[in-house]
Amino acid sequence: MSTINYPRKHRVQQVFMSYSPLNKKTAKVSQNSSSIILDIKPADNRFKIDQTSLTELVKEKNTDKLQNIGGVEGVASILETNVEFGIPGNVEDITLRRESFGSNSYKRPQRKSFFHFVVKEFKDLTIIISLLSVVSCLAFDMMDNETLARRNEDESLIAALFLVVISAISNFWQNRQFQKLSELCNNIQIKVVRARLHQKVSILELVVGDVVCLKIGDQVPADGLFLEGHSLKVEESSITQDESDHVEVNCHHPFLFCGTKVVDGYARMLVTSVGKNTTWGEVMSSIIHDTNELQTPLQIRLNKLTSSIRKVGLAIALLALVVLLVRYFTGNTADECVIEEFHGSKKKFYVMVKAMRILATATTIVELVIPKGFSLAVKRTHVYALKKMMIDQAMVRKLSAFETMGFATTICTDIAGSLTLNQMKVTKFWLGKESFEAAAYSSIAPYFLEFVQEGVAMNTIGTAYRPTSRFEIEFLSNPTEKAILSWAILELNMEMEQLMHNCKILSIEAFNSHMKRSGVLLRRMGDSTIHVHWKGAAEIILKMCPRYYDSSGVMKELDDHERMKFEKIIQGMEASSLQCVAFAHKQLSEEDQEYDTKDKNIEEEGLTLLGLVGLKDPCCPGVRNAVEDCQYAGVNVKMITGDNVFTARAIATECGILRLGQDMVNGVVIEGMEFRN
């Protein structure tokens, strides 16, 4: 392994460092016709730039300022990052970067104490009246030297207040569970390059200077600069609040912002700001987070019912209060064991005691009539269901999800990761019209295998590396790319690093779900020939090929009759629930080379079909029983897919969603585009 040199010094062209005390708080940029003067505040560490300058560099999108620092490579040099191998990644280096530039975390709201939930429960007007009534009765009884054992209404009120405390305990525990769940959901794994190794780390461990690998569907984890990549487009509506237009990011516009989403292409970025120093972090810091769970629909309906009962209870209690007061002061009290008759000769204090006892009786009626256990019982049920689902590795962020599931009549599911394990493996390889097993790969012509290996190694967003000689090769990419890379390296003996060293990529068309293909234009360094490689859905690639290689590696014409044979082969693999991927190749002539290298276009016509691979993604254990349980309960299960509809139909049959002999006219299996339309 070659030695990795991480630069400690850097050169800044046309930059004047100002160390005067006036510049310790702000970094100013002045521009004239000949040069740009950048004042960079000296940092109290080995890095020759402070966080404020890095934040403003990306936030202002000032390309002139960036170029005068030396471009992206200049910033990487200042941050002591090797653009190819990343940061050293040892404990001392990570610690120093966190101390200098901060950690990738945001200020979270202070945890609410148990006292907060107790106070919240006691804000109920009925509870306040009850509490005052209890305190008043107890005070007067103690002054009147009466025993407390006779006060049944006091015991009822105390029992009601005890239920309130239990409700506060339940809310407090529930809040703690959701905080833990939120922390678990925010712990996203991202792919970075450290000490030459591609590895996955928690987004919370990201530091300034890291080299992050981005692909379609990823959310940019920090502010940074574009290092290298192809066809990268991001959606910045989350930070600009504008329409969701796709912004192209490249060497001329290298600025990436935290919180934006990659919608096309792939790239590597240099992290310049993390946590609260990012554009997204500033927005998050200005927002007061409220982690309170909104009431579920059932709780809302129960609250309406409780409110109606409360009104009736208050009316009854008020009527009882008036009747008891009138009867007491008129001397018509029937039950002298409870309330003695009123006599004008008695002391005012004694009359006040009896009046408070009448008020306590009315308050007890209110407490007994209003069903406070409804809301508490619903919360306890939700929390119990939450714990049960977390045991099954299902994360529920809103309690209302349980009720939503209860009202569901139809479940729409995708394939990968839901019905299948999302662990693909190449199980079929077709060269021409003949299927090859792994043991027969050695009989394939070497030059033909070189074409296949070149198409796999150069036309991919995945990476393969061996941490040390003692460990197996690790693959980092999506399941499809990982399966193809694993097959090519382990079974075709592909040397990925050597192929990437022998070829130079001129242009790339990244894979997207609409085109269902990806292409690469490359130059071989040995003979300077230009080659085109395409990879994608078999039916798409087949339409681009007027020729094919047979099992002997001989190129033949692909007429309509031969094309029908290939279509049957593809349909046969799809009927076996295999995802079919095709490879195509073309070597450009001298005239085409001059045209394509100038405009960086990737030829789409006149290709030769190299071969077909079938990838198997096994169904999850128990998924068929789960589908049958849903259907038995009257819940319809439908499959929404972006893959080939025949493959989806085969998987749906295997999972029990589609029965044998049942057609798809009833919409059991639907393509994503049809579903959206």
414 is catalytic: yes
Binned at pLDDT 50, 70 and 90, residue 2 comes out as: very low
Hey, what amino acid is at 22?
L
Binned at pLDDT 50, 70 and 90, residue 286 comes out as: low
Higher-confidence residue of 233 and 334: namely: 233
Which residue has tokens 């002591």? 80
- Give the per-residue pLDDT at 40: 43
Higher-confidence residue of 492 and 299: namely: 492
Give Rg (Cα) of the chain: 36
- Give the per-residue pLDDT at 297: 74
- Give the per-residue pLDDT at 345: 46
Instruction: Write out the two tokens for 87.
Output: 């940061």
Binned at pLDDT 50, 70 and 90, residue 225 comes out as: very high
Q: Tens digits of per-residue pLDDT, 125-141?
A: 666 666 666 666 666 56
Which fold, 51-104+206-290?
A: 2.70.150
Judging by beta carbons within 10 Å of its beta carbon (0-12, 13-18, 19+), is residue 131 exposed, middle or buried?
middle
For residues 596-626, one letter each, b for 16 or more C-beta atoms within 10 angstroms of the residue's C-beta and e for the rest, the string is beeeebbbeeebbbbbbbbbbbebeeebeee
Residues 6 or more apart whose CB falls under 8 angstroms from that of 81 comprise 6, 87, 209, 210, 211, 270
Mean pLDDT calculated for residue range 516-540: 91
Catalytic residue among 93, 124, 414, 592: 414
Whether residue 363 contacts residue 129, with contact meaning beta carbons closer than 8 Å, is answered with yes
SS3 of 510-561? CCCCCCCEEEEEEEECCCCCEEEEEEEEHHHHHHCCCEEECCCCCEEECCHH
Residues 6 or more apart whose CB falls under 8 angstroms from that of 327 comprise 333, 334
- Give the per-residue pLDDT at 134: 64
Binned at pLDDT 50, 70 and 90, residue 22 comes out as: very low
Q: Tens digits of per-residue pLDDT, 98-113?
A: 988 988 887 666 777 8
Grouping H, G, I as helix, E, B as strand and the rest as coil, residue 313 is helix
Mean pLDDT calculated for residue range 653-671: 78
Q: What is the mean pLDDT of the chain?
A: 77
* Angle between helix 114-121 and helix 152-186 axes, rounded to 10 deg: 130
Mean pLDDT calculated for residue range 488-500: 90
pLDDT at residue 474 greater than cutoff 60: yes
Instruction: Write out the two tokens for 443.
Output: 């009989």
Which residue has tokens 């940061």? 87
Judging by beta carbons within 10 Å of its beta carbon (0-12, 13-18, 19+), is residue 494 exposed, middle or buried?
buried
Binned at pLDDT 50, 70 and 90, residue 663 comes out as: low
- Give the per-residue pLDDT at 280: 81
Pairing verdict, β 410-413 and 636-641: parallel
Range with lowest mean pLDDT among 181-185, 284-288, 361-365, 620-624: 284-288
Binned at pLDDT 50, 70 and 90, residue 255 comes out as: very high
**Alpha-carbon torsion angle 159, 165, 168, 173, nearest 10:** -110
Binned at pLDDT 50, 70 and 90, residue 79 comes out as: very high
Binned at pLDDT 50, 70 and 90, residue 562 comes out as: very high
- The single-letter DSSP state of residue 420 is B
Q: How far is CA 603 from the centre of its chain?
A: 36
Per-domain boundaries in the chain: 51-104+206-290, 425-589+603-616, 623-676
pLDDT at residue 596 greater than cutoff 50: yes
HSE-up of 187 (CA within 13 Å, CB side)? 7
CATH architecture group of domain 425-589+603-616: 3-Layer(aba) Sandwich (3.40)
Binned at pLDDT 50, 70 and 90, residue 154 comes out as: low
- Give the per-residue pLDDT at 198: 83
Whether residue 383 contacts residue 173, with contact meaning beta carbons closer than 8 Å, is answered with yes
- The single-letter DSSP state of residue 276 is G
Instruction: Write out the two tokens for 205.
Output: 């461990």
